Amino acid sequence: MKERNQALNVAISVGDIHGVGPEIILSAFQESQLFKWFTPLVYDPAGALPQLKSSFPELFQDFVCEIGPQDLIRPKKINLLDVPEIPIPLKPGIRNPEGAKFAVDSLRLAVSAVKNKQCDFLLTCPLDKTYISNSGMPFPGHTEFLGIEFNGSPQMIMVSGQLRVGLLTGHMALEKVVGSIHVDSIVESLRQLNETLKKDFQVVRPKIAVLSLNPHAGDNGKFGNQEADIIRPALNACVDSHRILAFGPFASDGFFGSGAFREYDGVLSMYHDQGLTAFKALAGFEGVNYTGGLSVIRTSPDHGPAFDLAGKGLADPTSFREALFVGRETYFNRALSSELLKNPLVNAPRTHGGFDH
């Protein structure tokens, strides 16, 4: 376990090589003070980052280096790993199977580094979901893939300061959402979000708001009965059986529009766009995608590969930087939680015949 004054090793996947991932990595670390807190290990099996030198020479200074073996990591440098002798030509802005393949290859290498404890946490750059199912990752996105890799139950949580929005259903067609909402699934999602807020964000007694499914929270059954038949019973079960402070269900428009979200430590959204639309409007470029429910820490910028910006020097690295600091914060929060939960009697000295008096 690292000390708070030490730099953390961050395993970084490059994302889709034809998107903005490679650019935002280099752009973010133009802020040289980041090296005080992070040592980036960038897994680049396509050789994408070195190719940017001709287009963006200003991004290449003495802090970029290419290395081979994992044991030659250099502090205060962007360490490029698994770079091939013959790079794969970049096609900025082009969505194709090749970009997806190398995004998956990079992700697998970065995951392996975290599994082997060579890195302290994982930061994934954006990939395109169009082709990844044919590129060795038969999952709809990072979150589901990481759940399998780390044998966990991942929960997508969008983070920006004190605003933390978790999702009940994630990458799922809207027509399937209603059939996926059950009392048990809501209770489990709330239990998981509650634990993540306590362990990873050091919220002692989280207050969690739960959003409704239907407009106006169903308006007493006029627009649907899920609020009365499913969501409220789930909230009652959480309060009664799990001692979770869960409130709602709240209509999403009024909840966010009135600023009521500021009164809660976390929010549980019923489906992807319900939570993310409001979150991104409020967080701007400072949002971070955090994965709860894993044995390791994983963060990501809260945007996609942005093919329309790739290669133009317009990509904003703010969300990437925020993802670095959320990863660092949760790394030390977990360490503190683990320390606080230790049994003080486990290593206590024993005396013959019982306790000393």
Are 15 and 148 in the same domain?
Answer: yes
Residue with token string 């059986």 = 241
Q: Parallel, antiparallel, or unpaired for β 163-167 and 298-301?
A: unpaired
pLDDT in tens, 198-257: 999 999 999 999 999 999 988 788 888 999 999 999 999 999 988 999 999 999 999 999
In this structure, the answer to whether residues 237 and 125 fall within a common structural domain is: no
pLDDT exceeds cutoff 60 at 355: no
The DSSP-derived string for 204-226 is: SS-EEEEE-SSGGGGTTTTT-SH
- The model's pLDDT over 38-63, given as tens digits with 9 standing for 90+, comes to 999 999 999 999 999 888 888 887 77
Confirm whether 75 is domain-assigned.
Answer: yes
Tell me how many domains the chain contains.
Answer: 2
pLDDT at residue 137 greater than cutoff 80:
no
Domain endpoint, select from 267, 293, 319 = 293
Q: Quick check: 220 and 210 in contact, CB under 8 A?
A: no
DSSP 248-294: EEE-HHHHHHTTGGGG-SEEEESSHHHHHHHHHHHHGGG-EEEEESS
pLDDT of residue 311: 93
Tell me the CA distances in angstroms from 168 to 21, 141, 159, 265, 277, one per residue in order. Answer: 28, 16, 15, 16, 15
Question: Quick check: is 50 in a domain?
Answer: yes
DSSP labels for 119-143? SSEEEE----TTTGGGTT--SSSHH
Identify the pLDDT of residue 71. Answer: 66
The predicted pLDDT at position 356 comes to 43
Residue 349 has pLDDT above 70, yes or no: no
Does 353 score more than 50 pLDDT?
Answer: no
User: What's the mean per-residue pLDDT of the chain?
Assistant: 91
Say whether both 80 and 198 belong to one domain. no
What pLDDT is stored for residue 357 in this prediction? 38
pLDDT higher at 196 or 355 = 196
- Is the pLDDT confidence value at 171 over 90? no
- Kindly tell me if the per-residue pLDDT of 313 is higher than 70: yes
Mean pLDDT of the 153-181 span = 94
Q: Given phi > 0 = left and psi -120 to 50 = alpha, else beta, which region is 79?
A: beta
Q: For position 18, which CATH number holds?
A: 3.40.718.10
Q: pLDDT grade, residue 343 (50/70/90)?
A: low
pLDDT in the model for residue 15: 96
Element (DSSP H or E) covering residue 24 = helix 21-28
Q: What would the two tokens of residue 150 be? A: 């780390």
Model pLDDT for residues 95-135, shown as the tens digit of each residue: 999 999 999 999 999 999 999 999 999 999 999 888 877 77
**Residues in CB range of 70: below 8 A, 6 or more apart:** 41, 81, 113, 118
Q: What are the pLDDT digits (tens) for 63-106?
A: 777 776 666 889 999 999 999 999 999 999 999 999 999 999 99
The total of other beta-carbon atoms located within 10 Å of residue 111's CB is: 23
Judge if 176 and 260 occupy the same domain: yes
Asked whether the predicted pLDDT for residue 351 surpasses 70, the reply is no
The answer to whether residues 30 and 99 belong to one domain is yes
Please give the pLDDT value at position 220: 83
Between CA 172 and CA 178 the distance in angstroms is 11
DSSP-derived letter for residue 29 is: T
Residue 163's domain comprises 155-293
Residues 20 and 123 in one domain: yes
84 & 178 share domain: no
Residues 166 and 129 reside in one and the same domain? no
What pLDDT does 70 receive?
Answer: 64
Amino acid type, 63: F
pLDDT for 348: 52
According to the model, what pLDDT value does residue 261 have?
97
Q: Are residues 148 and 159 in the same domain?
A: no
Same domain, 174 and 188: yes
Residue that is written with structure tokens 């259903």 in the block = 169
Verify that 120 and 198 share a domain, yes or no: no
